[in-house]
Structure formats: C-alpha cells, structure tokens
Structure 1
C-alpha cells in the first residue's frame, strides 16, 4: 500500500542529503583566505640531518677543539599549510578547529599582499643565515672570546632616507663621530637622534672613506626612525661554524644554535643526556628575542619528549591558556639564562619557570 507521508519524508531526507553533499563538495573545492599553522619538523642540532640525500652533522666547527656531548638539543619549527598559490579549502580547515596544536589565521598574516611563496622562502633563508652568524657571535662572546664585526649595506629602500646616499656594499664606519661597534650601537644612534633629525654617517666604498648626512624617518604605523637600508653583518669568529639544514628558514633557531655551539666547545656534556627543545632569536650580544608560532612549538617540544622547553621571556604574553601537559617551561631573556636553566635541570633542580611571566 502506498504511503504518501512516508514517501514525502523520504524525498525530504534525500533532498537534505543532496544539499549537504553539495555543501561539502563546495567546502572541499572553494578556496578559503585562511592558512593553518601547525607544529613542524624537530631537528636535533647536536645530531645529523638529511641534506641533499646525505646524513650530515647539523653543526660543524673547524679551527677549535670540540668535545663530545650527550642528549638532544632540538630546534623547533612550524609548518604553514596554505599560501597564495595553493590556498586551503574551507573543508580542510575543520581538523584545525579540533586540534589545540594548530591555529587558523589569514593567509595575509604569513604572506603580506604582493608577497610570493618564493619571496618568503628567500627572506626566511636570509633570516636563518643571519641568525646562525649572530648565534655564533653570541656563543663565542659568552665564552669570553673576542668577536669582530663589520656592518655593510645589503639593500637600500627606494625613496627612503638612504636612497641615493648609500649603496649595497658600503661598509659603515661611524655615526656622528662614534664608531659603530655592532648593529645594536647603530640602532641606538639612529633612535637617539630621533625622527626627522639629521645624522652624519661615515662609510667606506671601494676602499675610499666617505661621509653622508641622512634624515631617519619613522615608517607609517611605526615609532622608531629608520634609515631605509638593510644591514648585513660580517663577523670575524675565532673558529669557523657551519650549520647544515634543508628547507628550514627564519631567525627563531638562534637561541638553540648558540647553546649547541657552547655545548660543543666546552668540556663536559652540558645536557648530560637531557632532551632540551627551544626557540628564540639571538642577538650577537646574547639577548633572546620573541618568535612566532609559540603554541605550535610548545606542542612540538612535548611530542619530542623534551625534559625542558626554552622560550623567550618576551613571548610570555603569547602563552596558551592550557600549555601542553607535563612540559617543563623555562622563559629566558639571555643566553646565559638559557645555559643556567639547562644546568639546573641537569643537576636535578627546577629552573625558573612560568612564574617569570607574572
């Protein structure tokens, strides 16, 4: 016997399923303006990594006596899923909503308008190379070794204060008669002069000493004046330090590189068998700077079985409400504090923890 009501219910159910299928299909095909930030590869800087198909020591030091060590000293990375060329679909974002180690953010946060994937990769490679050099300088200085540095112009911004006055390759010598000792001293001189105030820069070009007057300006939305030039630093290190990594960029491994260099150049294993993971930029004077992707790196550290996680004190405001369970966290502001935290754990003591964040 034909049941009209039952047939209508079946038709509505079929129609509902068809609509749901269409929605899911569209969600799977239509690109979204969002990307997913998640924990990336973890690399032991005291071990080996696959580079060009070969297992190569991550850290190699020539021209100085090195010592054996034990344990793992991990640098942490993040992986960004989704970019201007390969956007994520709306459907692919759903798993990130259920995973505390992942974060959904606009693609523009990682790729500002007009920035290509290739440009971002090149910029991150430059930042990584710079972080390695600064980490090496900080490590040698922490061990009482003398490190020289030369600052030169890497690039000049069009229509910026230095446009037409400085050129790539110019070696900077002094500001207002004061010798430039490092990048920090250069920045202090520019900031102390103030926005719109003239400064006199002495530099060397093709072996000839020259002088120019610049008027630093604060960029739109910024507060500190700039001269409109990218500065590269060439350090004269007591020994040659080479870091071999593939497809990893950015400056956030500086802290771990510096600790690894100290561990290899000082007698006795600093880690004493511990697994230590960390993140943070490193200035050549040993200051630890803030990084991005803190939550994702914390989860990476926990999954790596870390006995200690080193993070920048400057990132205290970025701590998640619920840090990964069981992770011992030590916020640090300097290279010396990082080494001290490791020594404390190796000695069976507790380092200063999240109470430092207030």
Structure 2
C-alpha cells in the first residue's frame, strides 16, 4: 500500500471513529429550532376558535395575527449528542445553548414545564386585561393567594386560591392596596385578613414577621391580581407554554371587538410579552421565531424594542420588522401599514 493510500485510510478511520464517538457522546446543550406558528384569528388544532368571546358583540376578522414558538431538542434525560450539537452550530436556523438556559439546575424538567404552563396562563390573562384596557372597557380585579410560604404565620391558616378581601377592615381590590396597607405596620404587629374560600367569608388574625431581607412586615403569602372580566374570553392553544404570545393575543382580542379587520388581510406575525396596561416586553429565541414566521408566510413581524438589535442581524429576507413598544403602539402601527398613512416604527 502506498504512503498516500495509507494516510487516507488512517484519516478515514479517524473520521469514522470520531463520528461514532460524536453520535453517542451526550452533551449538556439544547438545540432551539423554529416551532409552529398559529393564527390567533383562526382555529386551533381541534378546529375550534383559538380565541372565543361570549357575552359581547364580536366582529368578523380576516388576515393573520400569528404568534410564534420555538421548539427544542435535548435537556435532562434526553440530551443531544455531540454531532447534533455540531450540526446545530452550523445550521442557520438552529441555536445551541447551554442546558441550564432552558432547564435551571435547581428545577426539575417537570417544574420547568409547570412554570411554562403558568406563564402561558398569566400571559392570556394579561392579554385580555391589556386588550380591554386599550378599548377602555372597565375591568375589576381581586387579590388571590398563589402560594403559602412554609413556616410563616399564614402556613396552615390560609390556602392558595383564597381571595383576600380586606386588611384590618379596609376593603382591598388589588395587590398594591395590600402591600400599601401592610407597609403601614411594623414587624411584630398583628393584622387581620378577611378572605373568601369556597364562597364563604372568613377572617384570620396573624402576627407579622420580617421579610427575608428584614425590612418589611409579612405573613408569608404570595398574592397576585386576578381580573374579573365583564364577559367571557377563552384562549385555547393546546400544549404550548411560555409568556411570549401575549402581544398577539391582545391584538386578536382588540380586532374581534372592533368593527373592520385590523390587518386588512395582511399576514402579520409577532412576539412579545404583555402587561395588563399594555407594555410589550422582550422574549427569547427571536431568530428562530422570525424564521418560523417567514416560513409560514408572514411579511410583517412585530418585534419588542429590546429584541430589535438581535432581530435586525438575523432578519429573514422578505420579512419587515415593526417595533412594538406597547399594545396601543402596535395597533397604531398596523393601522398605518394598512392605510399607508402615518409613520410605522421600525427597529433602529
């Protein structure tokens, strides 16, 4: 055998061995890829309206307002191999990120899934509140206990799901009122909480203790605002988690509750978290979400301002980026696009 042939044979063997090693060597990374997109004005995978509104006049809507998702491979118990990671680094539509980016070391995969589900539920409620805020439809709130801290005064007395209705006889309807009333006390003071459980009114008198940082009185409850909407809004997206669809949910609700189609038949996609007052927040996986949007047919992509820098550097051809700072701004931008009048905010 010639020296050249021997060298090629040895190199081939080395490449084969490395390939075999790479195909079985698991690495602590996760591959992020473009996921499915869904039209918030359309139906879900069961053929039901993705957003259904009952008890209020609803108007026909057309076009697309798609929310976008990211799918992943890897994670604890199902790690990707080295070759998959290398291919992901090479491919333009895949991001390879450290495993702890998606699965924090102090949380189990089940806890991560539960948190994603909770974030989706919160985003839906925030989206509904933001849409009604944009349309100036009054929304009432109530204060609900989300969790009880073990070993604190409320442990064994109050439960998740209890509705706090008053503190020391003062009626409250939002979290800010609870914290404001509590801050008027000193650590060691006694407070009386009125609450509703299973339709029954109750009271609990508790001695306050210091918060972990020691500067405020507390009884060991985790509370949140829960909105009481004047009519029913159902959002059904199936097994999808996370908070990033909030903006698109809000836009679809606004569209359904106002005469005339907001998009005028255009294919608009986007992403962004939403607060009850309509502030749009940044999300992760912007590159993969833009690719997913373009592949589905979108020509316009609503982009949170804090994602603009990354979005501009990875924008697919044929996709126009429109900056979305607030829900109100996003509605105005779409109206400007469809009418051809007025400025359309772009990523700087």
Q: TM-score range by the shorter chain?
A: 0.7 to 0.9
In structure 1, how many angstroms separate the alpha carbons of the residues matched to 2:164 and 2:134?
25
Check the 8 A contact 2:28/2:79 in 1, yes or no: yes
- TM-score normalised to structure 1 length: 0.83
Instruction: Flag the 1:24–1:295 CA change in 2: closer, same or farther, 3 A.
Output: same
Of residues 10, 32, 42, the one that matches 1:47 is 42
Instruction: Flag the 1:227–1:85 CA change in 2: closer, same or farther, 3 A.
Output: farther
Of residues 19, 28, 31, the one that matches 1:33 is 28
1:16 is aligned to 2:4? no
Aligned to 1:76: 68
- Measure how far apart 1:319 and its partner are: 3.9
Instruction: Flag the 1:215–1:345 CA change in 2: closer, same or farther, 3 A.
Output: farther
Check the 8 A contact 2:167/2:194 in 1, yes or no: no
Consecutive unaligned residues of structure 2, counting only runs of 5 or more, are none
Of residues 195, 202, 206, the one that matches 1:208 is 202
Instruction: Flag the 1:35–1:65 CA change in 2: closer, same or farther, 3 A.
Output: same
Give the 5 Å matches for 1:124-135. Answer: 124-135=116-127
- TM-score normalised to structure 2 length: 0.85
In structure 2, how many angstroms separate the alpha carbons of the residues matched to 1:326 and 1:332?
19
Instruction: Flag the 1:303–1:249 CA change in 2: closer, same or farther, 3 A.
Output: same
Secondary structure at the counterpart of residue 48 of structure 2: strand
Instruction: Flag the 1:214–1:326 CA change in 2: closer, same or farther, 3 A.
Output: farther
Give the 5 Å matches for 1:245-264. Answer: 245-264=237-256
Instruction: Flag the 1:317–1:150 CA change in 2: closer, same or farther, 3 A.
Output: farther
| CA shift digits 1:188-227 (9 cap, x unpaired) | 859999xx999968452541234543533469xxxx9998
Check the 8 A contact 1:36/1:81 in 2, yes or no: yes
In structure 2, how many angstroms separate the alpha carbons of the residues matched to 1:145 and 1:124?
29
Instruction: Flag the 1:160–1:19 CA change in 2: closer, same or farther, 3 A.
Output: farther
Check the 8 A contact 2:53/2:233 in 1, yes or no: yes
How many residue pairs end up in the alignment?
Answer: 340
Instruction: Flag the 1:92–1:230 CA change in 2: closer, same or farther, 3 A.
Output: farther
Instruction: Flag the 1:190–1:214 CA change in 2: closer, same or farther, 3 A.
Output: farther
- Measure how far apart 1:322 and its partner are: 3.8
Of residues 156, 162, 169, the one that matches 2:161 is 169
RMSD, aligned CA: 3.2
1:98 is aligned to 2:93? no
In structure 1, how many angstroms separate the alpha carbons of the residues matched to 2:219 and 2:282?
23
Consecutive unaligned residues of structure 1, counting only runs of 5 or more, are 1-5
Secondary structure at the counterpart of residue 127 of structure 1: helix
Aligned to 1:3: none
In structure 1, how many angstroms separate the alpha carbons of the residues matched to 2:218 and 2:284?
23
- Measure how far apart 1:242 and its partner are: 0.8
In structure 2, how many angstroms separate the alpha carbons of the residues matched to 1:353 and 1:96?
30
